Structure 1
Amino acid sequence: MGTWDIGPFENDMAADFADALDEVAEDEREALVRTTLIRTVQTQDYLESPEGAEAVAAAALIAAQCPGGEPISSSYGPDEALPVFAADLRPLAVEALDRVVAEASELADLWDETLAGPKWRQTVGCIRAVLTLGPDSQEHPLFDL
C-alpha cells in the first residue's frame, strides 16, 4: 500500500478509486460512489484498508459539494466532472466514515500505529462534520489541521 499523506486521495487505493470514477460514464459515477459507501457500511467483519480508503475518498467527494466542504485539490482525485450527488448520500457517507474509524478497521489500525494517526482521524472527522451540517447552517466545521 502506498500512502504519502493524510488527505483522502493521498494513497494508492483512493487514487485508483478516482481513476475508476474517471473511467465510467458520467451517469454511472454516483452509483459507483454509492456502491463504495454501501459496501463499507455493510461489511460485518474486519474492514480491509482498500475499502476503507475508498470510502473516505467517496465521502470527501460528497463533502466537497456541501456548504463548508473543501474542494478536492489533490492531483490524485478525479479529473472528470462529477454529478451533483443526491442528498441521501450524506448520511450514508457519515455511516461509512464511522465504520472506517471504528474498531475492526484495518485502515484505522494502520493509522493508529503511526504518529500521524491523530491527524488522520482529525481529517476524517472534518469530512464527517461537513456532511452532518444542515444545508442552511452558517457553521464551518473545518479548522487548520
Structure 2
Amino acid sequence: MGTWDIGHFDNDSAADFCGGLDDAAPGEREALLRSALLYAVRAEEFLDSDEAVEAVAAAALVAAQCPGGAAVTSAYGPKEPVPPLSAELRPLAVAALDRVVAEESELAELWDESGEAAAWREGIRTLREVLAAASSAEAPVADA
C-alpha cells in the first residue's frame, strides 16, 4: 500500500476507492460506502489493510455529512459530490472504525509499527467521535 500521510485519503487504496465512487452513478454511491463499511465489520479474522483503508475513507465521507463533521478537502477524496446519506450508516461507520483499530487489523499493525501511530489513531478517534455523537442524536428516545 502506498501511503504518503496520515489523512483518511492519503494512500493508494483510499484514493482508488474514491475514484470508484466518482465512476459510480450517484444513486450507487451509498451502496458502495455501505459495502466498504460492512466488509470491515464482518471480517471475522484478519482485516486486510486495503479493505480497512476503504472503510476509513467511507467513514470519513459519512462523517462529513454529520453535525461537527469535517468537510473532505483532500485532493485524493471523491471529485464528484456524495449524495445525502442515510443516517443508518453512522453507527455502521462507528463499528467499522472499531474493527479497523482492533487486533487482527493489518492497517492498525502497520501504523503501530510506524512512528505515526498515535497521530493516526487520534484521527480515527476524532472521526469516530463525530459519528458516535451523530448516531446517538438520531437514536429514538424511549418513553418513560
* TM-score > 0.5 by shorter chain: yes
Residue number in structure 2 paired with 1:142: none
Residue number in structure 1 paired with 2:73: 73
Between the two proteins, what is the percent identity of the paired residues? 56
Gaps of 5+ in 1: 138-145
**Residues 3 and 10, structure 1, Cα contact 8 Å, conserved in 2:** yes
Partner-residue secondary structure (3-state), 1:66: coil
Residue number in structure 2 paired with 1:62: 62
- Runs of 4 or more off by more than 4 Å in structure 1? none
Q: Does 1:37 align with 2:37?
A: yes
Residue number in structure 1 paired with 2:141: none
| TM-score of the two chains, using structure 1 as the length reference | 0.92
- CA distance, structure 2, for counterparts of residue 8 and residue 54 of structure 1: 9
Gaps of 5+ in 2: 138-144
Structure ranking higher in helix proportion? 2
Q: Does 1:21 align with 2:26?
A: no
- CA distance, structure 2, for counterparts of residue 116 and residue 96 of structure 1: 21
- Once the two structures are superposed, the pairs formed by residues 97-112 of structure 1 within 5 Å of their partners are 97-112=97-112
How many residues are matched? 137
Give how far 1:134 is off: 3.8
Q: Does 1:123 align with 2:116?
A: no
- CA distance, structure 2, for counterparts of residue 136 and residue 89 of structure 1: 12
Query: Please, what is the CA RMSD of the aligned residues?
Result: 1.3
Partner-residue secondary structure (3-state), 1:108: helix
- CA distance, structure 1, for counterparts of residue 17 and residue 90 of structure 2: 19
Q: 1:67 to 1:135 in 2, by over 3 A?
A: farther
The letter for the 1-side match of 2:3 is: T
Q: Does 1:52 align with 2:52?
A: yes
Partner-residue secondary structure (3-state), 2:33: helix
**Residues 6 and 120, structure 2, Cα contact 8 Å, conserved in 1:** yes
1:10-53 per-residue CA deviation (whole Å, 9 max, x = no partner) reads 00000000000000100000000001101110010100000000
- CA distance, structure 2, for counterparts of residue 135 and residue 13 of structure 1: 27
Residue number in structure 2 paired with 1:141: none
